[in-house]
A and B are shown apart, each in its own frame.
Chain A
Amino acid sequence: MNDMTDEERQLVEWLADMNEDDALALAKRMLLEDKKNPMRVLELCRAAMDIVGKRFEEGEYFLPELVLAGEMLETIGAIAKPLIKLGDGGEAKKHGKVLIGTVHGDLHDIGKNIVSFMLDINGFEVKDIGVDVPVRTFIDEINTWQPDVVGLSGFLTLAFESMKETIAAFESAGMRDKFKVMIGGGQIDDTVKNYTGADAFGVNAVEAVALCRRWMGVAA
């Protein structure tokens, strides 16, 4: 996005710099008063989120920035989406479909949300099915949504067992070879990967993106 007006560049900068008040005020003005194309505004948000993602990868930003960025994006999205009319231009191309959820018995969702956020801003179509997800729900979602990658998140040691069970159920349902399985969360490491039968584990959201890129054959 090189062809930005000064105002547009300002919005991207404020969003990327966590200047929430100014960014939201400007986005609202652009959408509601100046009647700018809502697709354009969302594109600007995406550009800002790219910067946020980069800063996170480079160790300049941490969780708090991602949480705030996610929330700014949500706020603007909620205003912009109802304004989108047919012919405003379609959704950006997606690299592949990733289904993600926290396995049963586990309620931790911050890590998973960050992974969803990072995959989303990196061009993947993400479906997040929440926390404490029963094995059955994973199977049903996979059947209807046909993801390319399934991500299991878990932070408790009891999640090792839940992950193993969930992956074994993919096996018994005869669907295990239809998608890749990645796991992650605080305690997850290589030992757990082997124990559960996942294809890979990722220590953070950046690795989650790298794994999906590799599997989908997308260049970084």
Chain B
Amino acid sequence: MNAPAASAAYDQRWQRIQDCINLKQPDRMPVALYSTFWLAKYGGITCKQLMYDYEKTKEIAERAVLEFEPDVISTLLLTVASGRSLEAIGFKQLQWPGHGVGDNQPFQYLDREYMKADEYDEFIFDPTGYYLHTYLPRVAEAFEGFEELPNFPGLHYFRLVGSVRSFANPRVRAAFENVFKAAEESERFFQHHVQFMARMASLGYPATNGTTGVSPYDFIADYFRGATGMMKDLFRNKDKLLQLLDKVAVFLLRQIIPTAKASGNPIVFIPIHWAPDAFMSPKQFETFWWPSFRKMLIGLIDVGLVPMPLWEADCTKRLEVIKDVPAGKCIYWFERTDMVKAFEVLGDVVALRGNLSPSLLTTGKPDEVDAAVKHLVDNVWNQGGKLILDAAFGLPDETPVENVRAMFDAARKYAG
């Protein structure tokens, strides 16, 4: 395709997404290509290679994009090729090929208590100090040594001049050297990503999102207190938790807004872990989960960004609550919530994304995939739903290629 044609194709594809967000009728149902380790299967390489070989991964990802011609693509390289960066920073919260799991296994997050229950006060009082002295050394080896940094608030005059000697401490020095090395790798990785996305854009393919976010509750549950620690906090540390949630909403916005703006793509992808029906009562949801997240959504919308939460598992009972956002500003991606039901409740408020079932995609036959797409087209798209077709949470790693073909073919067959 020549450059002007590719540029026109880009505009057309991006317009479809814009139309969906604005609750207008696009010329056809857009389809997304979102993959993590599925690319390894598709390209016939190991998960380890996918994580470590920037060039190979770009090549395979490009091949997949050109084969399926999706309307939008996920950050295909950024999502998987972190092996070298993880190694450089000595990341302790994940296991990945060569570091705890086999060469052909995806990376996996380790659910631990990275913040203890009695550390709430410290985190709330001085988040940056807590990060420097406690959290960073706990989660990444490169930061080991930062425990010895001085407490910055309170430094003044000759006390400031004198305290700078902490930086001469050999452990602190070593830590800085390690962090610089990690930074170089991370920068290389990021440049590969930028270059890959620019190339995809030049071929006519926009990205589904510029950056990612996290809900305040999930941030604390997943990365600090751990799954069960958090559930106990709902009873044991209720007030402190609420206080921290409020604060986290503010500093997450400060993280997300500049990165989203710098990316040039307004969509912010927010995978959501702890909202599902089974995970807490409606009352707990409305007390602990939703208020700080809604504050974040509005904060993003107010500066012209488009939040795209991915509501994992079944969130049917949450629909009426999460409906409370301005119309035409968000994409709600559902994993297992019945899309027809989601459309009935939210169809005039948000664009929808999803949600072919993982078990169908991995173990079903192409004609079953075809039927599942038709079901979504008949019951959502043709009823006026602004649906971006995708799998439940992108393509499951094990999806046979013929089922991916069936998904894309069926979308074109039934919805333009």
Closest to A190 in B: B359
Does B397 contact A157, Cβ atoms closer than 8 Å?
Answer: yes
B359, A187: Cβ atoms under 8 Å? yes
Q: Does B6 lie at the interface of the complex (its beta carbon under 8 Å from any beta carbon of A)?
A: no
Q: A67-B231, A68-B231, A107-B111 are in contact. Are A157 and B284 (CB under 8 A)?
A: no
Within 8 A of A (CB), among B103-151: 105-106, 108, 110-111
CB of B228 within 8 A of chain A? yes
A124 at the interface (CB under 8 A from B): no
Q: Given A157-B397, A158-B397, A160-B363, do A64 and B284 touch, yes or no (CB 8 Å)? A: yes
- Could you tell me the distance between the alpha carbons of A185 and B291 in the complex, rounded to whole angstroms? 29
| Among B236, B281, B313, B359: residue with most chain A CB under 10 A | B359
Docked Cα-Cα span, A63 to B397, in Å, equals 28
A142 to B281, CA, bound (A): 37
For residue A88, CB closer than 8 A to chain B, the reply is no
Residues A107 and B363 in contact, CB atoms below 8 Å apart:
no
CB distance from B379 to the nearest CB of A (A): 19
Q: Across the interface, do B360 and A191 meet the contact criterion of CB distance under 8 Å?
A: yes
Contacting pair A18 B235 (CB below 8 A): yes
The verdict on A20 contacting chain B, using a C-beta distance below 8 Å, is yes
In the bound complex, CA of A161 to CA of B105 (Å): 13
* B108, B232, B398: the one within 8 Å of A157 (CB): B398
B280 beta carbon closer than 8 Å to chain A:
yes
Q: Give Cα A204 to B276, complex, Å.
A: 14
Let me know if B347 is at the binding interface, CB within 8 A. no
The answer, among A18, A105, A160, for a CB contact under 8 Å with B105, is A105
Q: Does B280 lie within 8 Å of A62, measured CB to CB?
A: yes
In the bound complex, do residue B280 and residue A63 qualify as a contact, i.e. CB atoms below 8 Å apart? Answer: yes
Instruction: Decide: A191 and B363 in contact? CB cutoff 8 A.
Output: yes
Chain A residues, Cβ within 8 Å of B280? 62-64
Residue picked from B105, B281, B360, most chain A C-beta under 10 Å: B281
Q: Which of A62, A68, A71, A110 contacts B284 (CB 8 A)?
A: A62
A61 within 8 A of B: yes
CB distance from A59 to the nearest CB of B (A): 8
Additional A-B contacts beyond A20-B235, A157-B398, A191-B359 (7; CB < 8 A): A62-B279, A157-B362, A158-B105, A158-B398, A191-B363, A192-B359, A195-B363
Which B residues are closer than 8 A to A by beta carbons? 105-106, 108, 110-111, 227-228, 231-232, 234-236, 278-281, 284, 313, 357-360, 362-364, 396-398
* 29 CB-based A-B contacts, threshold 8 Å: A20-B235, A60-B281, A62-B281, A63-B231, A63-B278, A63-B280, A64-B231, A64-B279, A64-B280, A64-B284, A67-B231, A67-B232, A68-B231, A107-B111, A110-B228, A157-B358, A157-B362, A157-B398, A160-B362, A160-B363, A160-B398, A161-B398, A186-B313, A187-B358, A187-B359, A188-B359, A189-B357, A191-B360, A192-B363
